């Protein structure tokens, strides 16, 4: 007999707190309940939710079912010889690192937060600061088991069910529920990286140094001041790194190279008044950040380099009740320079600042029809939600991105329209055909899926 606790009507959002929607939320207590809910909940359709770190509506399902993957939280096995980790979909990157770092292994691909689930990472085909060298999480993913709409559990890899393997990577939960996965971890000498910091006076200089030097670094990003104008347009700070060599670690660290100092557990206790983030405070912050950085090298731990924001719990509350809209775009190499100049000029002229703006070189695309990265440059921006005027500006940015042959990232998106999405992701029909074969009744659907018409409304 099928039994599971009923759903509760809950107001949910992604990490950006926008949009916020009423959903029917299931909190299974066991893996078996998780599977039963996915297959048999009475709602027309369902979407799986990991740690809710996507910014927009990818893990929302207005008036329909949302199931948490929390009970899928076991590390199933670890092969210390080969670094192969098998774990359930709800295990977080933080848990993997806590488990694997002391054994001398790291996650080869990690986004800017470790508070994401393995299921969410695969569904968004996440990338890190090393996309230019190592690609997305697909490159460390050996296989996963997918619970599909007809109740079968399929092993998906490059050899078995390759269509579902690639469609699920970047498929935002719309092909089925990932149950567990095998990831290839990478051996490391320590939990430290050797960083190089270099300010650039404008975008031209940043481009020159990134083109010439990013390949010499395993990890490479640039923080960019999007309020700077004129000759300083695009002034930035390159923050690049390689794994630290043992002999370069300070003696105290060398004695225990996998222990990381505890960082202060700061937190934002409540939603801050959104007026604190105004153009003036952002201009001050951006200038201060730029002038605080000098050219230098430094050894820092994983936490500080990869997850600086994770040190501040609930940092998204600084944006207040109305939340924040993340906007991440990628432009192909051929148009990246010109496109970014136009985009930065547009943002800067609007007087609207992004608190955090990050520029990255991206490597070649993979075989997934809905994966985000293509070879070129990616820019991620955070805008406090100010209402319709912001949505209008983001729609202008969509047109610029399209004109330059680029696309925006679904894991961060909350306002793209279906026509622009289709123009940005020309392999959508391939994805739809795979979904139709495995989920003809659209058991798996989400607010994002319907907004972008990846899935028909039902």
Ligand X SMILES: Cc1cc2nc3c(=O)[nH]c(=O)nc-3n(C[C@H](O)[C@H](O)[C@H](O)COP(=O)(O)OP(=O)(O)OC[C@H]3O[C@@H](n4cnc5c(N)ncnc54)[C@H](O)[C@@H]3O)c2cc1C
Written as six digits, the tokens of 60 are: 């929302």
Instruction: Check binding of 36 to ligand X (CB under 6 A).
Output: no
For ligand X, the binding residue among 7, 12, 23, 59 (CB under 6 A) is: 59
Q: Which stretch binds ligand X (CB under 6 A): 50-58, 273-281, 295-303, 425-433?
A: 50-58
Q: Which stretch binds ligand X (CB under 6 A): 108-116, 282-290, 330-338, 420-428?
A: 108-116
H-only helix segments in 351-427: 388-403, 418-424
Q: Which stretch binds ligand X (CB under 6 A): 47-55, 233-241, 258-266, 268-276?
A: 47-55
**In which element (H, E) is residue 134 found?**
helix 131-134
| Rg for the chain, CA atoms, rounded | 21
Instruction: Check binding of 51 to ligand X (CB under 6 A).
Output: yes
Cα 63 to Cα 17, 23, 156, 229: the distances in Å are 18, 5, 31, 45
Q: Output the smallest distance, CB 373 to ligand X, in A.
A: 8
For ligand X, the binding residue among 46, 47, 228, 238 (CB under 6 A) is: 47
Whole-number Å distance between alpha carbons of 209 and 275? 36
The angle, 0 to 180 degrees and rounded to 10, between the axes of the packed helices 333-350 and 203-213 is 150
For ligand X, the binding residue among 154, 227, 344, 411 (CB under 6 A) is: 411
For ligand X, the binding residue among 18, 35, 49, 217 (CB under 6 A) is: 49
Cα 383 to chain centroid distance, Å, stands at 16
For ligand X, the binding residue among 19, 28, 52, 83 (CB under 6 A) is: 52
Judge residue 231's burial from the number of C-beta atoms within 10 Å of its C-beta, 0-12 exposed, 13-18 middle, 19 or more buried. exposed
* Subset of residues 158 to 197 that bind ligand X, contact rule: CB under 6 A: 172-173, 177-178
Q: Which stretch binds ligand X (CB under 6 A): 21-29, 44-52, 79-87, 293-301?
A: 44-52
Cα 127 to chain centroid distance, Å, stands at 7
In 279-374 the beta strands, taken as DSSP E runs, fall at 296-301, 312-313, 324-332, 357-362
For ligand X, the binding residue among 113, 190, 361, 378 (CB under 6 A) is: 113
For ligand X, the binding residue among 112, 135, 199, 363 (CB under 6 A) is: 112
Residue numbers at the binding site for ligand X (CB under 6 A): 14-15, 47-54, 58-59, 69, 89, 111-113, 116-117, 119-121, 123-124, 126-128, 172-173, 177-178, 309, 411, 446
């Amino acid at each position: 007999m099928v039994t599971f606790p009923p759903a509760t009507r809950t107001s949910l959002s992604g990490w950006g707190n926008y949009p916020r929607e009423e959903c029917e939320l299931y909190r299974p207590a066991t893996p078996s309940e998780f599977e039963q809910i996915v297959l048999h909940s009475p709602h027309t359709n369902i979407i799986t939710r990991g740690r809710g770190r996507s910014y927009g509506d990818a893990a929302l399902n207005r008036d329909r079912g949302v199931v948490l993957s929390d009970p899928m939280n076991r590390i199933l096995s670890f092969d210390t010889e080969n670094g192969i980790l098998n774990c359930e979909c709800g295990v977080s990157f933080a848990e993997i690192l806590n488990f694997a770092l002391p054994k001398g292994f790291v996650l080869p691909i990690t986004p800017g937060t470790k508070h994401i689930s393995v299921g969410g990472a695969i569904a968004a085909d996440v990338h890190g600061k090393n996309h230019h060298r190592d690609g997305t999480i697909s490159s460390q993913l050996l296989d996963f088991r997918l619970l599909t709409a007809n109740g079968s559990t399929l092993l998906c890899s490059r050899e078995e069910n390759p269509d579902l393997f690639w469609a699920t990577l970047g498929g935002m939960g719309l092909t089925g529920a990932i149950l567990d996965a095998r990831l290839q971890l990478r051996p490391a000498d320590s939990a430290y990286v050797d960083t190089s910091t270099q300010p650039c006076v404008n975008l031209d200089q940043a481009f020159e140094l990134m083109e010439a030097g990013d390949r010499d670094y395993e990890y490479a990003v640039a923080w960019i001041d999007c309020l700077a104008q004129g000759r300083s347009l695009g002034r930035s700070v390159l923050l690049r790194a390689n794994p630290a060599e043992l002999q370069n670690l300070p003696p105290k660290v060398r004695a225990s190279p996998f222990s990381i100092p505890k960082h202060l557990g700061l937190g934002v206790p409540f939603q801050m008044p959104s007026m604190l983030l105004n153009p003036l405070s952002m201009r001050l912050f951006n200038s201060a950040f730029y002038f605080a950085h000098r050219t230098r090298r430094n050894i820092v731990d994983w936490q500080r380099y990869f997850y600086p924001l994770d040190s501040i719990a609930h940092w998204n509350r600084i944006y207040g009740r109305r939340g924040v809209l993340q906007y991440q775009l990628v432009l192909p190499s051929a148009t990246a320079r010109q496109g970014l100049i136009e985009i930065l000029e547009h943002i800067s002229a609007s007087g609207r600042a992004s608190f955090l703006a990050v520029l990255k070189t991206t490597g070649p695309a993979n075989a997934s029809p809905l994966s985000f990265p293509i070879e070129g440059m990616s820019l991620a921006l955070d805008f406090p939600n100010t209402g319709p005027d912001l949505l209008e500006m983001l729609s202008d940015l969509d047109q610029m991105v399209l004109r330059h042959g680029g696309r925006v990232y679904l894991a961060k998106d909350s306002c793209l329209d279906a026509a622009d999405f289709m123009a940005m992701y020309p392999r959508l029909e391939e994805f739809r055909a795979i979904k139709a074969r495995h989920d003809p009744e659209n058991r798996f659907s989400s607010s994002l899926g319907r907004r972008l018409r990846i899935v028909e409304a039902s």
